[in-house]
Chains A and B, each alone.
Chain A
Amino acid sequence: MLNKQNWDRLPKLGLRVQRLLEDAKSTKLMAMGVLPGSVVDVLRKAPFGHVYYIKVDGQRMALRQDELSFIVFE
């Protein structure tokens, strides 16, 4: 179900959100401004991994890996 994506090589810039998987977490992601069509930059990984520093349409936020995996990119 979860969306496996390789986040080893960072930063990844200019990713476009296609859709979000159906889950309560997606509702919260959307409320924070992660929407279909948003441009996402995944800038860096947290020192101990599993958490990512990202920018969504220029807004900075931190997402856990499992939270990020609810986003489907184009």
Chain B
Amino acid sequence: MTTEVVKKKLVKTVALVGNPNSGKTSLFNQLTGMNQRTGNYPGITVSIKTGKITKNIECVDLPGAYSLHATSGDEYILTNVLLDPEDQHFPDLVIYVADVTQLEKQFLLFTQVRDLGFPILLVLNMMDLADRQKYQLDIQALQDRLNPVEVIPVSSRTGAGIDRLKQRIYDLSGQPLTVQTPDHPFFKLSDAEQEGVTWMHDAFGYTNPYHSLLCLHHHQHLEHHSETEKAQITNWCQEHQFNSLRLQIDDTMHRFDTFEPILHQVKSKKPELENASDRADRLLTHHIAGPIVFLLSMVVVFQAIFSWASYPMEWIESAFGYASSTLGETLPATWWSSLLIDGIIPGIAGILVFIPQIAILFFIISLMEESGYMARAVFMFDRVMQRFGLNGRSLISLISGGACAIPAILSTRSISNPKERLITILVTPFISCSARIPVYAVLVAFVIPPVTIWGIFNAQGLVFMGLYAVGILVAMLVSLLLSKTMKSQGSSYLMIHLPEYKMPSLRNVSLMVYESVRSFVLEAGKIILFISLILWVLSSYGPGEKMRLAEAQATEQAQDQQLDDAATANLIASQKMEASYAGHIGKWMEPAIRPLGYDWKIGIALLTSFAAREVFVGTMATIYSLGSADDELTIHDRMAKEVDQVTGKPRYDLATALSLLLFYVLAMQCISTLAVVRKETGTWKWPVIQFTMMTGLAYLVALAIYQFLS
């Protein structure tokens, strides 16, 4: 206990506070470099980043907000942290980050934080842009008016002024820092407010009047008040007819009235001219050209994730494949070498193979965020997305989902409304990702031959497009349904600033890519590896002596038929697969999947597809003892010869193939995605609901299609 108290005093917490888009996060990156980690705030999905400036100075990047009179979930985090001295992020020193090109908008929150009495450094960010705009600001005059608050001009993009800021942080951290109510506050209490503040002082012992006032207004959302205390405050407010909404507006107005004259005195007015951002927006947000430019750039994004990533992905796969086969030749054939070669190595490969896609997507998304274009895309598509219960930002995630659901789900972090973000996470995996393509490629030939329709369209290509369309349609319908049924937490806002366009900073872009890749590998990777190992156990072991019997039988059979070595190995693998636990589960599943037109062999493929959908092709190759899955055509030929033992007709007819295809479009068969959903929502509840919803729907649709066609 005592050590904890000592530690608390030694380690000073410095918090970055400011509006969204004030450059808070890039300043945080400048201050902490690589020494940062992201933690989720309990119960809320917006994450808080912490990092170290020195060993004894911890830096917290608190969520951006415009006012302590919070209106949405992520804004309440800030109010909660600043009003609760017991909170782990409660700052000893506040660094208030203000974008100097929009100073008026940034001062409301500044005056509120100031009135709470925190020791505060006012950082004027983006001085480089201000210089370019020939913006005149008398920093010394501002400093004099705000005394004792210290004003430090920096540019988090170029790094100018950062050293001076760091020096001031070191200096101040060496001194005792206390919260002190300022002598000249930016507010004036009305009679009703004074009465409330006095009562709060008597009831809870609060000494800072603005702290008391904020607790009165927002007690329902403050976690440090118990339910009894909340009821007590609510009662008082009702008895005294405390008109919270009106008083909040008055407080805001009074603050603007107080600080606007100060800013007018220190700032020279710049002429209102149409600048480069305005000219760019004439095209980029134009009601016809805007969406076209956006969709074209999305095609490039999709292409990038889809094709550029395929090279590094192949390198990763072949490197691990080479490691597996080399080890297979050198190591003795025991259980542990099999665990290594067939379990652990493919498991790790299955994690690392996603890195190129995640890195490329986040590279492009951070370019869009940093340049200011993302806000324009949100502006253009918010209405369409809203109709389906989503947010303008959901569009980016849905489009990215066409490459891979994992980076797409990570990208939903920019959606601030928790409900809209959750729905986006839940429906994104319906969009056909690149892993489904090999499965579609094998099965589509059973649905339609490769003929040309109306002279130009490839029939199989049309079916492909149809499968994508089904995925998109279902995603939109399900989000509509979810938005009607789910409870809303707080109302939905758009209200976003459209910042000046600017050149992205390489430092911020690379940090964002690094951070997203690292968190995927460390957090989702653990779960993926664990489940890959379970699947390895299921397919390498069988009940009792059955595995050994199967191997002996297969060897005998191969000798009878005088098969060569490779064919013998393939036959053994196929027979062992049937005798394994996975084979038993496949047979046990058969009654359940029979109505969909599947047999136990497809059952095994469905089970192993759970590791990743593209495993379907490999499993089919093993079951039909083809050895390798290199050639999709070979698998197709072999599958075409397969006969249904009950009906005597071809196993893969139109009905079965279409039913299986729709199953793969709709079912949740990706542990990696489930692991990421678990990580992003903080609970197993949502991945379980998502799995049940998607797989249940897939089952029903596949059932209906098969029964209708056969």
Contact = CB atoms under 8 A, between A and B. Distances in A.
Contacts of B163: none
25 contacts: A22-B245, A25-B71, A28-B66, A28-B495, A30-B108, A31-B67, A31-B109, A32-B105, A32-B495, A44-B285, A45-B287, A47-B287, A47-B291, A47-B380, A48-B384, A50-B386, A51-B383, A53-B498, A57-B104, A60-B498, A60-B499, A61-B497, A62-B496, A64-B495, A67-B494
Contacts of B102: 33, 59
A27 B497 contact: no
A23 interface: yes
Given A33-B105, A44-B286, 12 more contacts: A22-B246, A25-B491, A27-B245, A30-B249, A31-B252, A44-B285, A50-B386, A53-B379, A53-B498, A60-B498, A62-B494, A67-B493
Which of A26, A28, A45, A57 has most chain B Cβ within 10 Å?
A: A28
Instruction: For chain A, give the interface size range.
Output: 20 to 34
A24 interface: yes
B695 interface: no
Given A23-B245, A62-B378, A62-B495, A44 B287 contact: yes
Contacts of A24: 71, 245, 491
Interface of A: 20, 22-33, 35-36, 44-51, 53, 57-64, 67
Given A25-B71, A44-B285, A62-B498, A30 B378 contact: no
B456 interface: no
Given A24-B491, A47-B288, A32 B249 contact: no
Interface in B377-400: 378-384, 386
A33 B252 contact: no
B190 interface: no
A6 to B, nearest CB: 18
Contact of B498 (A22, A23, A29, A61): A61
Contacts of B491: 24-25
B54 interface: no
Interface in B209-230: none
Contacts of A61: 495-498
Interface string B283-304: 0011110110000000000000
A24 to B, nearest CB: 5
A67 B386 CA distance: 14
* Most chain B CB within a 10 A radius of its CB, from A32, A35, A61, A62: A62
Contact of A27 (B71, B375, B386, B494): B71
Given A20-B249, A58-B272, A67-B495, A46 B383 contact: yes
Contact of B380 (A32, A46, A60): A46
A37 to B, nearest CB: 9
B256 interface: yes
Contacts of B285: 44, 46, 53
Interface residues on B, range: 35 or more
A51 B384 contact: no
A35 B288 contact: no
A25 B69 CA distance: 11
Contact of A33 (B104, B287, B291, B496): B104
Contacts of B497: 32, 59-61
Interface string B465-508: 00000000000000000000000000101111111000000000
Contacts of B375: 62
B248 interface: yes
Contacts of B277: 60
Contacts of A35: 253, 256
A31 B498 CA distance: 15
A22 B249 CA distance: 8
Contact of A62 (B291, B379, B384): B379
A62 B382 contact: yes
A36 B260 CA distance: 13
B66 A48 contact: no
B281 interface: yes
A60 to B, nearest CB: 4
Contacts of A25: 71, 491, 493, 495
A31 B105 CA distance: 7
* Closest 4 A/B residue pairs (Cβ): A31-B66, A31-B67, A60-B498, A62-B379
B369 to A, nearest CB: 16
B75 to A, nearest CB: 9
Nearest to B392: A51
